[in-house]
């Protein structure tokens, strides 16, 4: 954002702060990526530590994983359409696309909760083996992030409908986009490292 002649010194300073926040949020995302990287390393280290219990091959359902993957990918592109609406300053389009993104995200979380409760019901909870502890830690942390993102989407929709496209709201929406697309990138790692090698 460049400060033009009509921008007061106060607004210019406010915009600089928002740019700093965008950068700060990016640094947070990178540190979050490192948390996930270590959870991946833990998972791979404990992969063979099944203690005679069920393995990924016994537990994972590729159809469910594919459905989860499609929901997250679709929610990424519908969030993209909401960002297009922000760029066009089209309030109703943004709210519509945010609502669709929210619904897709809820669908993802529901599938994941169903998977986790099904595993726990058959005695394959996080307490069963080192392998399952690391599985629940990795995939559960991602699921918690998605749930947090859903709360943020709801708050963002309320802010946009009440405050409109003020500079802080647009900046927050940009940061939410980074967060949401970042979670989809982590999911690429999860299906490529956890589920697909698990079912093969």
Partner 1 sequence: MALEKSPGDLRKSYLTGVILAFILTAIPFAIAAFGLMPRSSALVVIAILAVIQVFVHLYFFLHMDPRTAPKENILALGFAAVLIFIMIGGSLWIMFDLYNRMMI
Q: Which residues bind partner 1 (CB under 8 A)?
A: 1, 22-23, 26-27, 30-31, 33-34, 37-38, 40-42, 44-45, 62, 65-66, 69-70, 73-74, 76-77, 80-81, 83-88, 170, 174, 177-178, 181-182, 184-185, 188-189, 191-193, 195-197, 199-200
CB of 132 to partner 1, least distance (A): 18
CA dihedral 169, 11, 181, 132 (to 10 degrees): -80
CB of 76 to partner 1, least distance (A): 6
In this structure, the chain runs to a length of 200
Q: Which is nearer to partner 1, 6 or 121 (CB)?
A: 6
Place of tokens 């990924």: 56
CB of 177 to partner 1, least distance (A): 7
Q: Which is nearer to partner 1, 120 or 199 (CB)?
A: 199
Q: What share of the chain is helix, strand, coil (3-state, %, to 5)?
A: 85, 0, 15
Q: Which is nearer to partner 1, 37 or 123 (CB)?
A: 37
Kindly report the backbone phi and psi dihedral angles of residue 3, in degrees, each rounded to the nearest multiple of 5, phi listed first: -80, 115
Q: Which is nearer to partner 1, 26 or 110 (CB)?
A: 26
* C-alpha radius of gyration, the chain, whole number: 20
């Amino acid at each position: 954002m460049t400060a033009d002649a009509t921008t007061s010194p106060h607004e210019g300073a406010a915009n600089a702060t928002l740019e700093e926040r965008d950068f700060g949020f990016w640094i947070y995302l990178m540190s979050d990526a490192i948390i996930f990287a270590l959870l991946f390393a833990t998972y791979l280290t404990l992969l063979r530590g099944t203690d005679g219990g069920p393995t990924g091959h016994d537990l994972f359902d590729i159809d469910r994983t594919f459905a989860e993957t499609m929901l997250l990918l679709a929610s990424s592109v519908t969030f993209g359409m909401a960002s297009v609406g922000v760029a066009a300053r089209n309030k109703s389009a943004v709210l519509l696309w945010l609502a669709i993104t929210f619904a897709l995200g809820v669908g993802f979380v529901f599938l994941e909760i169903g998977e986790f409760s099904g595993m726990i019901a058959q005695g394959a909870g996080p307490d069963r083996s080192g392998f399952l502890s690391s599985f629940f830690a990795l995939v559960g942390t991602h699921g918690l992030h998605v749930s947090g993102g859903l709360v943020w989407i709801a708050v963002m929709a309320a802010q946009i409908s009440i405050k409109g496209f003020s500079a802080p709201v647009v900046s927050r929406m940009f940061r939410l986009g980074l967060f949401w697309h970042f979670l989809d990138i982590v999911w690429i790692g999860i299906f490529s490292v956890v589920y697909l090698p698990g079912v093969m």
